[in-house]
Amino acid sequence: MDWMMLANKVIDGYDCTREEAREILNTDDADLLGLINGAYVLRRHYYGNKMKLNRLINAKSGRCPENCAYCSQSIYADTDVENYQLVDQETIVEGARQAKADHIGTYCIVMSGRKASNREVRAVAAAVKQIKQEMSMKICACLGLIDDKQADVLKEAGVDRYNHNLNTSANYYDRVATTHHYQDRVDTLEAIKQSGISPCSGGICGMGETDEDIIDMAFAVKALNSDSIPVNFLRPIPGTPFADKNELTPNRCLKILSLFRFVNPKKEIRIAGGREYNLRSMQCLGLYIANSIFIDGYLTTDGQGGKAKI
Ligand code: SF4
């Protein structure tokens, strides 16, 4: 495959097919730099060389009743993550001040749990209102399943973006979690879109899924018109059901990122959790494909700080 030619066709409006998506995932390692170069043509065309930085606050941690098999915060996992209820408003706002001082573009307020209560939504909304009054900063909320009314409360408070990952394909979903369903996630994203908040949705790779599952997911977030697409690479956590899954290589991760870029060329592609663990010394190549990363760690695992040299 001539990846540069395909990239230029995509810029001219062509939509990649599933067959081309399969070719991306099956690219010979000897042609990997050619694939990355094609993905970079797209990244540079739509985003230049700028990198968007995101930082998380784990605003409510642990004791989640859901059984997502990758997650250390599930009550079904045998882990020693911190357990605490929603932190107070000042803690959330102070995190935003620090993020602003560190030139972070988007501050992500994340809660563990199946679904935020109305009280929790109001509390997060109050914190967001204060942040928006004090500074100019993009806010993403990630509070679990959400309904139309809650989405409207967050929109009115100034939430710019809401993250709710599809996580994997519809077909593979019940191998990852059974306490909720793929359609629940789609419904939440539709409620978000209805409210006018920008949807953010991606997934996690390396959980035992097939190439077809990854391709399904890339096309599903395209169909949802997700503005931002986090691509997580499983970092297996001891005590979780997926503790022994270790199937990713740096080259595989780069092909997956390229797939998401070719299928969703204009969207923010973010290398999310597991970046450091899975891409290792090849992280810098990921930056030619993705235009967004998290820095300063993830919800329950550490990561590189903003001043780290990759
Ligand atoms: S719903 Fe969220 S916090 Fe709960 S187990 Fe799943 S990923 Fe973890």
- Write the pLDDT tens digit of every residue in 260-275: 999 999 999 999 988 8
Task: Give the atom of ligand 1 at the shortest distance from the alpha carbon of 111.
Answer: 3
Average pLDDT rounded to a whole number, residues 279-301: 86
Average pLDDT rounded to a whole number, residues 138-142: 96
Ligand 1 center–CA 64 separation, angstroms? 6
- What pLDDT band is residue 40 in, cutting at 50, 70 and 90? very high
Q: Are 254 and 36 in contact (CB under 8 A)?
A: yes
Average pLDDT rounded to a whole number, residues 59-87: 93
Tell whether 221 is covered by a domain.
Answer: yes
Tell whether 7 is covered by a domain.
Answer: yes
Tell me if 240 CB under 6 Å of ligand 1: no
pLDDT one-digit tens code per residue, 4-24: 999 999 999 999 999 999 999
Tell whether 286 is covered by a domain.
Answer: yes
Cα distances (Å, whole numbers) of residue 109 to 59, 74, 302: 6, 18, 17
Q: Assess whether pLDDT exceeds 90 at residue 305.
A: no
Confidence at residue 308, expressed as pLDDT on a 0 to 100 scale:
62
Tell whether 309 is covered by a domain.
Answer: no
Q: Assess whether pLDDT exceeds 60 at residue 309.
A: no
Average pLDDT rounded to a whole number, residues 62-81: 92
pLDDT one-digit tens code per residue, 214-236: 999 999 999 999 999 999 999 99
pLDDT one-digit tens code per residue, 99-120: 999 989 999 999 999 999 999 9
Tell me if 139 CB under 6 Å of ligand 1: no
CATH code of 149's domain: 3.20.20.70
Average pLDDT rounded to a whole number, residues 76-96: 94
Full-model pTM: 0.93
Average pLDDT rounded to a whole number, residues 83-94: 96
- What pLDDT band is residue 254 in, cutting at 50, 70 and 90? very high
> Among 63, 67, 68, 72, which is best to mutate for testing ligand 1, by the most ligand atoms less than 8 A from CB?
68
Average pLDDT rounded to a whole number, residues 279-300: 87
Tell whether 276 is covered by a domain.
Answer: yes
Q: Assess whether pLDDT exceeds 90 at residue 297.
A: no
Tell me if 163 CB under 6 Å of ligand 1: no
Ligand 1 center–CA 1 separation, angstroms? 39
Q: Assess whether pLDDT exceeds 60 at residue 3.
A: yes
Mean pLDDT of the chain: 94
Tell whether 308 is covered by a domain.
Answer: no
**d(C-alpha 274, C-alpha 89), whole Å:** 29
Q: What's the number of domains the chain is made of? A: 1
Tell whether 302 is covered by a domain.
Answer: no
Domain that holds residue 148: 3-294
